[in-house]
Amino acid sequence: MNFANLLFLYVFFPLCLICYFLTKKVKYRNWVLIVFSLIFYAWGEPVKLILLLLATLVNFMLARSIDANRGNGLAKLSLVIALIYDIGMLFVFKYTDFVIENLNGLFGAAIPATHVKLPLGISFYTFQILSYIIDVYWEKVPVQKNYPKLLLYISLFPQLVAGPIVRYSTIREEIDMRTTSLKDLSEGLRRVLVGLGKKVILANTLSVLANQYLSTTMQTSSVVATWIGVISYSLQVYYDFSGYSDMAIGMGRVFGFHFDENFNYPFVCRSIQEFWQRWHISLGSFFRDYLLYVPIFGKRRQWLSLFLVWFTTGLWHGASWNFIFWGLYFGLFIFIEQKIGRKKLKKVPDVVMHIYNKFVIIIGFGIFYYGDSKSIGSFFSQMGRYFGNLFGFTGNGFLRVDELTVGTYNKVLNETVYFTRYLWIFLIAVIVSFPILPKIKSFLEKKSVAVRSAAEIVSGVLCVGLLILSTILLIASKNNPFLYFRF
């Protein structure tokens, strides 16, 4: 099931709210959430629900084994078995065909592909399970001895299929003790509607621009079209994923859970390091806490660990070479920034740093876009056309005045006219990517009660407007999957 879906918005979610608030005890409310979460997941993939249930059961028992055998080898053995099982299941379903295709290409073999379908949300719930089992082993959290409570943590539908990656420590106490105040309900629902607007109004519209200008063939794309397309796609990914995260955090708030933020206006960053401290925060913190300090060849090796993290970050996003190089691409710039040092970077003028990092980020999302690079050859072929179009090396844009022809002029003119049809939504997307709303909220908090009350009314009306407009757009559309559903 999909958050940006009329059935979810007007049937599933309201029905879940009714059942949830009709019960009074947390124990029964947990069961309401478990039942609705399993229905939510099974709606699109009833067979794959077995994998989710099996993963939670296996890790529940192995965590109990770790806790019962602390101080001896069985605890470490239980952890190893859990890691092999969890990572192995993720590998089988996500990377088997990728490995087969590259082995066939490298050795000229003819190993048949499995064509196994990727279970919805497996990357997200596997990482949640891994964080739980490792934290239990490290004694950062107590083991959960009640299986339904662990199942609730893993399967909670707001964050099940596309994050954020919620740590067990974040909601451990709220599984047993939580309440929903009127403020929680109000702010949670508003966050849901804001996230819905980000997805349906901004991300979906930006996707039209991105797909128009970033065709997979790229044979006729001009420099102007390529830059418009890649900037639009960068914004689309941001609003698509941050919109989902907003909805997930908002729904969690309605049910009394307080998830950590997953995005913090990443495009206002001054460096690539800062960008990744603001973008997909739950994934970045996962790799930082569980992979960055892993000893390589017997001891910690700072730079190898850094590139291991970014190789894994890219690979986590999908079984395709473009994702691997996308991760290493950002890892390279973070490596360069760390070698330069923060003190020296602070001396660089802000305008230079902002131009530099936006340039790097936008080009990076162009690499991210071409997600069908199963073989290394097809990846480099696509990247050659992409960078050629981006910088005018293919003849599709203008490089010199004497190269201009009527055909290239008309092509670029048509591309520009098409862009003007979406210019208003493009400008709104750019403006909203800055932390304007938090500043307005901070400003209003210093005002009188009457002003704050009036602002609350205006905010409520705007949110209702977002719901109405999103509903109209959803009626007119056929499918609205979130981009990160495929990861």
- Residues recognised as catalytic: 317
CA–CA separation, 346 vs 452, rounded Å?
38
Contact 215/221 with Cβ under 8 angstroms? yes
* One-letter amino acid of 322: N
CA–CA separation, 47 vs 43, rounded Å?
10
* CA dist 170 → 173, 261, 282 (Å): 8, 11, 12
Residue 287 phi/psi, 5° resolution?
A: -65, -35
* CA dist 213 → 230, 249, 433, 477, 480 (Å): 8, 33, 22, 21, 20
Contact 252/259 with Cβ under 8 angstroms? yes
Nearest to 82 by CA among 56, 102, 108: 56
- Please enumerate in sequence order all residues whose Cβ is within 8 A of that of 376, keeping only pairs 6 or more positions apart, or say none: 102, 105, 321
Q: What is the secondary structure of 132-144 as a DSSP string?
A: HHHHHHTTSSPPP
Nearest to 320 by CA among 246, 362, 379: 379
